[in-house]
Amino acid sequence: MLVLLCLAVYVPGLRALPTVDRDEARFAQASRQMFEAAAWPESRLDRRMGESGAPLGAHAGGWAIPMVESRPRLNKPPLIYWLQVASAWACTGGEPALDAIWMYRLPSLFAGIACVLMCWRWGLELFGGSAGWLAAAMLALSPVFVWEARQARADMVLVAFTVLACWMLWRVWRAHRHGRPAGWPGWLLWVAVGLGVLTKGPMTPLVIAGATAGLCVISGSAGFLWRVRPLAGLAIVLAIVLPWVWITGERIGWERYAAIVSKEVLGRSVEAAEGHAGPPGYYVIVLLVTLGPGMLFAAAGLARGFARGMPAAVGAGGTRWSRLRARVGTIRAGRDAELFLLCTILPVWWVLEVVSTKLPHYGMALYPPLLLLSSRAALAWGWRHRGWLSTRVGLAMVHASNAAVLVLVGVATGAGLLAGLGARGLGGLVAGASAGAGVALFVYYVWRALGRVRARDWLGLLRLNMLTLGIAVVGLLVALPRVRGAWVVHGLCRAVIELEAGRARPIAFVKLHEDSSVFELRGRAEWVDEYGLKGWLRANAGGLVVLPPGAAGRWPPLSRLGGVTGFNYSKGQGGEWVIVEQTREIPGPPWEEGVTR
């Protein structure tokens, strides 16, 4: 049932959704070049090396160094690229020329389904089958999971390994509390940590370290730390990660590699990278949008977790260790589940709020434990409970949940309307139908939600949230790829391919420097500015040029062949981009001939 739910909300739009700028396009292009390096004969490969021995050619990195055109992409470890290459290889039979963006999205799709199933199984062990099923269903419908499960990026795979590590840590903690040996979960824990590091760096070990430290402090004993086997675990993680680190350091130079690692780990903590900053409390605000139906009981879940996981304090006397326990709390028998989940969530949440670089998907790994607490609160207190929901905080969560669902329904309806106006044939019919269904769904939800709020049928409201959100997500993801104005680069690349008519020509994008153009044109797109365009035209006779809005009038020697009107979401720029070609020699003084990629 859960697998069918995941397929229903994750598969629509998987193939139709164009390549998304900028991270997805970079991941997919690096994976494609790695695929080509493995599948093509040596005569077709570009293995140029720099004077220092660093890779410069598109295929010089082989399997070890991800490359985007001639640039090594070392800010992310290689496991996600290997998984994407394996996926594309299986789908194409080993021919890179037959690949497509959806093939590189399959690892994220499978990782998303795995997260939902692990959340269900983990919840079954913590609270029983009903709580596990409800938490898994809410996780599957979480907007950020719905989006990341169809993105060719590392985040969904990272979350899958992190959830697996947390689940195994719970089994180790449970064995410790009952005086039993940890067994194989203790070893699988560290394998998951190592694979998480090889996917996207320090997030997985950060969650495990925070949870372990919290449990040791609150329980007042360091015995659990040794039950986790940190030394053996470190050896396992190093055995998984070090071979790639060694090859990379040798290939590009240890000084350069250390600078990259320092910038990605320490630099992002101290200074916001690429403008991705946010105030303290950023992830609390983001939660209102990204958590989905689970937001309705998130506050209740945390409150209930505190009440049952850390309900009493020990005496203030004694040693320094016991005084520390007095401030934090102690464990009541039978409440290990709530305590464990709190220790999994809170330390890392605090770190994320302190770190300067903030992005909405950074907190995804904390959603499964948070939703497990939420589902337990929903089932424990039921629809007649008048406790926390009678307070201002509880009612605020209810209204925020309703508002979030209604906003998503409105967005889905708007996307369907825009797509219906711009698409023809069956696509326009489907998009128009989704817009009409969105209006009907909006009215139905308002009518039913108002009745449930008055009757305090909170569990019924949660089910209504989940149903409405699922339908809205499917409608949005069916309509969104058909909104042509939102996919300027995709439209331009398709127009360029049609104009070429099977004859490959040089292509330059002026100021529109988006990585999806490189992926969709298979590395042929070159990026120039207007100062370097004259030099590029001299070197590439017969080439095509994509000019930004307003620039065509400044280049009379260029003849218009076509254009695409829309909105570039990466830069917030709208207008018409035109495709031109040179018709006569460009007069005037020579300009700077700089070309960037």
Q: What is the DSSP string of 338-400?
A: HHHHHHHHHHHHHHHHHSS---GGGGGGGHHHHHHHHHHHHHHH-TT--SGGGSHHHHHHHHH
Q: What is the pLDDT of residue 584?
A: 65
Structure-token match 């269904």, residue found: 437
Neighbour tally for 231: CB within 10 Å? 8
Q: What is the structure's pLDDT at 314? A: 39
Average pLDDT on 103-124 reads 96
Q: In the chain, what percentage of residues exceed pLDDT 70?
A: 86
pLDDT tops 50 at residue 332: no
Q: Which tokens sit at 266?
A: 């320490």
Give the N- to C-terminal CA distance of the chain in Å, as an integer: 47
Give which of 5, 76, 24 is closest to 466, Cα–Cα.
5
* Structure-model confidence comparison of residues 429 and 67, the more confident one: 67
* pLDDT at 588 > cutoff 60: no
Pairwise pLDDT comparison (508 vs 356), residue with the higher score: 508
What three-state secondary structure class fits 264? helix
Closest by CA to 551, choosing from 525, 529, 521, 536, is: 529
CB contact at 8 A, 151 and 108: yes
Distance of CA 242 to the CA centre of its chain: 25
Q: Per-residue pLDDT for 515 more than 90?
A: yes
Instruction: Round to whole Å and give the CA distance between 488 and 421.
Output: 17
- Which residues make beta-bridge pairs with 363? none
Average pLDDT over residues 391-412: 77
Residue 591 pLDDT greater than 50, yes or no: no
Check residue 269 and give its pLDDT. Answer: 59
Q: Is 316 exposed, middle or buried (0-12, 13-18, 19+ CB in 10 A)?
A: exposed
Q: How confident is the model at residue 593 (pLDDT cuts 50, 70, 90)?
A: very low
pLDDT band at 91 (very low <50, low <70, confident <90, very high): very high
Token digits for 172?
A: 């180790």
Helix (H) or strand (E) holding 219: helix 203-219
The mean pLDDT of the chain is 84
pLDDT at 446 over 90: no
Question: Which residues, listed in sequence order, are joined to residue 576 by a DSSP beta bridge?
Answer: 565
Query: Comparing 547 with 472, which gets the higher pLDDT?
Result: 547
Long-range contacts of 176-185 (CB under 8 A, 24+ apart): 176/223, 176/224, 176/227, 177/336, 182/227, 182/228, 182/229
- Give the rounded distance of the alpha carbon of 456 from its chain centre: 35
The 3 state secondary structure assigned to 529-551 is CHHHHHHHHHHCCCCEEEECCCC
Is pLDDT of 533 > 50? yes
Distance CA 129, CA 401 (A): 25
Which pLDDT does position 597 carry in this prediction?
43
CA distances from 414 to 141, 178, 289, 482, 566 (A): 20, 55, 18, 12, 16
Query: Encoding tokens for residue 286?
Result: 């983001």
User: In 238-267, which positions are buried (b, 16+ CB within 10 angstroms) versus exposed (e)?
Assistant: eebbeebbeebeebbeeeebeebbeebeeb
Cβ atoms within 10 Å, residue 90: 11
pLDDT for residue 298 = 85
Percentage with pLDDT > 90 across the chain: 40
pLDDT category at 473 given cuts 50, 70, 90 is confident
Lowest mean pLDDT among 23-37, 219-233, 577-591: 577-591
Regarding predicted confidence, which is higher, 392 or 152? 152
Angle at 85 between CA 82 and CA 91, to 5 degrees: 145
| Closest to 252 (Cα-Cα) out of 33, 53, 47, 34 | 53
Beta strand segments in 201-351, E: none
CB 117 within 8 A of CB 2: yes
